[in-house]
Amino acid sequence: MPELLDERVGFVRRIGLFQATAINMSQMCGIGPFVTIPLMVAAFGGPQAVTGFLAGAVLALADGLIWAELGASLPGAGGSYVYLRQAFQYRTGKLMPFLFVWTAMLFIPLGMSTGVIGFVQYLGYLWPDMTSGQGDLVGIGVTVGIVVLLWRRVENIAKLTVVLWTVMITSVLLVIVAAFTHFSPERAFTYPAHAFELTSSHFWTGFAAGLTIGIYDYLGYNTIAYMGAEIRQPGRTIPRAILFAILGIMTIYLLLQIGTLGIVNWQEMLDPHSTASSSVASAVLERAWGKGAAGTVTVLILITAVASVFTGLLGGSRVPYDAARERVFFRPYGTLHPRHRFPVLGLLTMGTVMAAGFLLGRHTDLATIIQLLTTVMVIVQALAQVAAVTVLRRRQPGLHRPYRMWLYPLPSVVALIGWLVIYGYADRNAPGRHPIEWSLAWVGAGVVAFLVWARYEKEWPFGPKRITEEYLHGSDPDTGGRAGGEGWEKGAGGTAVGATDPG
């Protein structure tokens, strides 16, 4: 298939379905479950912690269907930036996309920093005498190395991602197989008293904490949407890559969680001095196959951690690019490398923030960092995108939608409830850290920054609203033909439906 140039942003569409799914899955899995299984057990207070991964899967599937519709119909560089710009430009100008980029430049690289924290944490199994200072230096070195690896053409990165994805799948499967060769159903399924007491506020506080950790582990199913301008046949590839990745990772996580609980006593995971707390996968391998096998698989887990951060930074660095080209963010971020065609300043900035986040997280609490990051993401990105699907169906009924959300609006309602639960319980699950207040303060600062920027650029509310509907009237990136404005579109099953139908 010939390569297509996206005329809106200058990227070339080179990434296919397998590579896109590999990018998503590498970012979703990575080091996440290997460091959060003990956190999940602590949140629920027992092996019923598997409930958190199930709840996270439901929220990921519901939210994934939102990303699938938006990504297929608006396949541009920057993901959420494009969706929020198109949906909310009619009433608030460029406020919402500006706020998204403002927060994304923080929460995306800080989320990646947790992967580097996990890398150093597992390295401690192989290097038990590693000092805190040495761990800090290793993490900074890993961050610099990942930026260097990303300094190249995207098709070369896609090939490397498939290799890293293979290592990730291998490491996870080895841990699962090791766990189930010595699996104890009694250990995995013996719950403490009142484990599922639904009338207890303690249960729901733990559930909210578990849901937050669960969705943190699933995050990454949207990575390929940030690279929408580089995807071949995005109307077909983006929805499939999102759904395949979520279903694949959901299966892996459940097997990993249940298998781990069947070989390691959950009480050990609560002991901060235990290997089961800091390197639970290594503990599983050591008990099943011995220390040599544990060391080998720990090396694979370290590679998996690098793969996760690598793909996350790859997609995240594209976020400010389209915004800068549309003059919704600082203009220097709208420049591509003249030879390799990647956003230089976005990559360097996020790499720097990731390094700072690693150092911050190393000397604070990982669970609290997850709460803070998730809360900032929810208030601007997640909740706004739930609304964006409905807004766009009404504002741009003629938009070409190769995929339409199944059972609309039920997934939007499920996602809305899930995100509100995470946000509403954030302060209870991070006592003394005030994630809700910090998220509101950060968004408030973003509003002030927007007003200063808008006055300088003479944009709304200090100038006219500039309505752009280029995806409504542009060409179809799947075929090169006309995409919108014809009064008809394809439904999810391939049948023609009236474009004026609001859903």
Structure tokens at 6: 């996206």
Give the integer Cα–Cα distance in Å for 475 and 495: 20
- Outline where 182-290 has alpha helix (H): 185-189, 201-218, 223-226, 234-261, 275-278, 280-289
DSSP 3-state helix, strand, coil percentages of the chain (rounded to 5)?
Answer: 70, 5, 25
Give the integer Cα–Cα distance in Å for 271 and 103: 35
Task: Supply the pTM of this predicted model.
Answer: 0.84
pLDDT at residue 340 in the model? 63
Closest by CA to 272, choosing from 365, 372, 203, 373, is 365
CATH homologous superfamily, domain 16-386+421-463: Amino acid/polyamine transporter I (1.20.1740.10)
- What lies within 8 Å, CB to CB, of 62 at 6+ separation is 411, 412, 414, 415, 418
Tens-level pLDDT at each residue, the chain (503 residues):
444 444 444 567 888 998 899 888 877 877 888 889 999 999 898 899 999 999 999 999 999 999 999 999 999 877 888 899 999 999 999 999 999 999 988 888 888 899 899 999 999 999 999 999 999 999 999 999 998 888 766 555 666 667 777 887 888 899 999 999 999 999 999 888 888 888 888 888 889 999 999 999 998 898 888 888 889 899 999 999 999 999 999 999 999 999 999 999 999 998 888 888 889 999 999 999 999 999 999 998 898 888 778 877 877 777 787 777 778 887 788 888 677 677 888 889 999 989 988 998 888 777 778 888 899 999 899 999 999 999 999 999 999 999 999 999 999 999 999 999 999 999 988 888 889 998 999 999 999 989 988 988 888 999 988 888 888 877 777 765 554 433 323 333 333 332 333 33
Structure tokens at 402: 């190769």
pLDDT at residue 157 in the model? 61
Give the integer Cα–Cα distance in Å for 230 and 12: 5
- What lies within 8 Å, CB to CB, of 64 at 6+ separation is 221, 222, 242, 243, 246
* Residues pairing with 343 in the sheet: 336
- Chain position carrying tokens 């994934």: 64
